[in-house]
Amino acid sequence: MSRNVIIENAGGPENMKIVNVDVGNPGPGEIRIRHKACGLNFIDVYQRTGLYPLTLPHALGMEAAGIVEAVGEGVIHLKPGDRAAYASMPPGAYSDARVMPAAQVCPLPDSISFEEAAAIMLQGMTVEYLFHRVWPLKSGDTVLFHAAAGGVGLLACQWAKSEGIELIGTAGTDAKCQLALENGATHCINYRDHDFVPEVQKLAGNGVDVVMDGVGKDTFDGSLDCIKPLGMMISFGNASGPVEPVSLLTLAAKGSLKMTRTTLFTFLADHQRCQDMATHLFSKVASGDIKVNIGQTFPLEQIADAHRSLESRQTTGSTIITL
């Protein structure tokens, strides 16, 4: 048996409920994993509220780490007893144990704890694909990264510093800006006290090479004014709400800009690419380039409180759920 967090109707944090389910055995291409910790991410909020619709009722949670208990036919990269971690569809990580597809579950090195893995799989592989697969960055490039003190943001600050990338961050308080700077941001702008657009223009001159924006509606229009001609706008999240439609002529007028709306799970869908991304992430942690920042921890019974904290921007770094 396993405790699972589910929703029967989309809505607020109060719509989540904990139920007991029979886990069962894995079929072909599947594993059964017993979780030690799971992660909390904005995609969980989007699914809970219905912004990203699920067939209801449905379990929630996209990221966890634990021990493989059983493997189904055809699974060769994992075996019972292995430490493993994942950020993967379908949702269901808010649970003691689950049966799930094996392809996107990754062997976890002994040097990385279950809690650290639960804190970085989704967010760390997001940074990996943003920096190396959407718009490959090189030393000397400039990036505007919104929400630089969040879980993804702090990892991006460290990753950028380790590779000689100039990262200009934004955050909502002076304390959060200081945290981003301590983690490797070159500059950080308090967007509540300052309009970030002229601040970025002063810092970056002709504009940044790329904007990486997980905030969405509140930052999108201003971000376009921060990009140098022929630069790239990467929208990868909707923390403040979805971006309104944009005219292609706007991109032309602002300097023949490029724009993409990405999702991590498109990149993870290929088994080998997923494993390569995880290996790259783990190597950054092992080298000391990335230090995992677990800002807050909630027990599974307080999952609603965890969601409220995330939505109200009260969290810093990563949030994990303990079991």
Residue 127 identity: V
Q: For residue range 112-170, what is the model confidence (pLDDT) as tens digits? A: 999 999 999 999 999 999 999 999 999 999 999 999 998 899 999 999 999 999 999 99
Q: Determine the average pLDDT of the residues in 274-294.
A: 96
- The model's confidence at residue 217, banded by pLDDT at 50, 70 and 90, is confident
Q: For residue range 249-283, what is the model confidence (pLDDT) as tens digits? A: 999 999 999 999 999 999 999 999 999 999 999 99
Average pLDDT value over all residues in the chain? 95
Q: Determine the average pLDDT of the residues in 199-226.
A: 93
Return the CATH superfamily for domain 139-261. Answer: NAD(P)-binding Rossmann-like Domain (3.40.50.720)
Return d(Cα 154, Cα 62) in angstroms, integer. Answer: 20
pLDDT for 287 equals 95
3-state percent breakdown (helix, strand, coil) of the chain, nearest 5? 35, 30, 35
Query: 2-121+265-322, which class in CATH?
Result: alpha beta
Q: Determine the average pLDDT of the residues in 188-198.
A: 94
E strands in the chain: 2-7, 16-21, 30-40, 58-59, 63-71, 83-87, 97-101, 105-107, 142-145, 166-171, 187-190, 208-213, 227-235, 258-261, 294-299, 318-322
Return d(Cα 48, Cα 249) in angstroms, integer. Answer: 35
pTM as predicted: 0.91
Contacts 24+ apart (CB under 8 A), 248-257: 250/224, 251/224, 254/224, 254/225, 254/227, 255/207, 255/227, 255/228, 255/229, 255/230, 255/231, 256/229, 256/230, 257/224, 257/227, 257/229, 257/230, 257/231, 257/232, 257/233
Residue count of the chain, please give it: 323
Cα dihedral 100, 105, 111, 115 sign: negative
- The model's confidence at residue 316, banded by pLDDT at 50, 70 and 90, is confident
Per-domain boundaries in the chain = 2-121+265-322, 139-261
Same fold? 2-121+265-322, 139-261: no
pLDDT for 318 equals 87
pLDDT for 68 equals 98
Q: Determine the average pLDDT of the residues in 228-235.
A: 97
Residues 6+ apart with CB under 8 A from 216: 235, 237, 238, 239, 240, 241, 242, 243
